[in-house]
Amino acid sequence: KSLDIPFDFAKPVGLICYLAQLCFVNSDDVVLDFFSGSATSAHAVMQLNAEDGGKRKFIMVQLPEATDEKSEAYKAGYKNICEIGKERIRRAGKKIKEESPLTTQNLDTGFRVLKLDSSNMEDVYYTPAEFNEQKLFDDNIKPDRTEEDLLFQTMIDLGIELSAKIEKRSIAGKTVWSVSDGYLMACFDKEVNETTITEIARQQPYYFVMRDSSLANDQVADNFEQIWEEYSKDTVRKII
């Protein structure tokens, strides 16, 4: 069954598998392709893992180059090369599992798509004449950024792999992100009260991160350190 991915100059999967076998030292190595194209390298890594039970990972890097409006790719709905690569990985993973269902039950074909962007934080520079008490309470995070944006920047800052397991939980009505089974816990919600902080602290994460503007009121801010000292004093707290 063909993947039917329209892309000119695609690298042969067999060739990449052969080169990978020559270069790999361990079955959990990471393959980095700075010119991903249609993501042939990702396809090859999943194929090798299916064949020998390896746990190799891949990082595909590709500029979102627009496809030619006259090309088959454009007509099929792929407006840039990155869209072709994403669909290639989805179809390749599905095809590999369909071809060997008994031996690929635990094969990881999942992937995350991240885009390079500017910092989530506002570039705020005030002269003494422009600064006033109100500006002290201005939100320092750009208004168009999502909680996921803040979470991934936090993971980068703390040196946590971007492929780490992420769970989205609800604690006392607030959204809490748990990374690597609670190694990092983060809450970027608004009006966060003592109940949420206490429940998070009880789980004793190594890192806890939240927005400076998230605390519900001054009372919560006053009790913040006391809560952590009582339930998890060794947790590293980071306010953004």
Name the CA dihedral angle for 78, 81, 83, 88, rounded to a multiple of 10 degrees: 100
Q: Of the candidates 12, 52, 61, 62, which has an alpha carbon nearest to the alpha carbon of residue 29?
A: 52
> In the prediction, which pLDDT does 151 show?
96
pTM of the model: 0.77
> In the prediction, which pLDDT does 4 show?
62
* C-alpha to C-alpha distances, 169 to 173, 177, 186, nearest whole angstrom: 9, 6, 10
- Going edge to edge, which strands form the sheet with 166-171? 166-171, 174-179, 184-187, 207-210, 236-239
> In the prediction, which pLDDT does 169 show?
94
> In the prediction, which pLDDT does 20 show?
77
Do 97 and 109 meet the contact criterion of CB atoms below 8 Å apart?
Answer: yes
What's the CA angle centered on 158, arms 33 and 25, to 5 degrees? 40
> In the prediction, which pLDDT does 126 show?
45
| 84 Cβ contact partners less than 8 Å away, ≥ 6 residues apart | 5, 6, 7, 38, 39, 67, 73, 78
Question: Mapping DSSP to helix (H, G, I), strand (E, B) and coil, where does residue 166 land?
Answer: strand
> In the prediction, which pLDDT does 1 show?
45
How would you label 111-137 residue by residue, b for 16+ Cβ within 10 Å and e otherwise?
Answer: beeeeeeeebeeeeeeeeeeeeeeeee
Provide the sign of the torsion angle of the four alpha carbons 73, 78, 115, 112, taken in this order: negative
d(CA 45, CA 27): 10
Q: Of the candidates 237, 236, 205, which has an alpha carbon nearest to the alpha carbon of residue 221?
A: 237
Q: Of the candidates 203, 164, 212, which has an alpha carbon nearest to the alpha carbon of residue 185?
A: 203
Q: Token pair of 28, please?
A: 């959990």
> In the prediction, which pLDDT does 11 show?
75
> In the prediction, which pLDDT does 232 show?
96
Do 179 and 151 meet the contact criterion of CB atoms below 8 Å apart?
Answer: yes
> In the prediction, which pLDDT does 80 show?
95
> In the prediction, which pLDDT does 132 show?
45
Do 151 and 211 meet the contact criterion of CB atoms below 8 Å apart?
Answer: no
The rounded average pLDDT for each run of 10 residues, N- to C-terminus, in the chain (240 residues) is 61 81 78 92 94 92 93 91 95 94 92 90 57 50 89 95 94 95 95 93 96 84 92 93
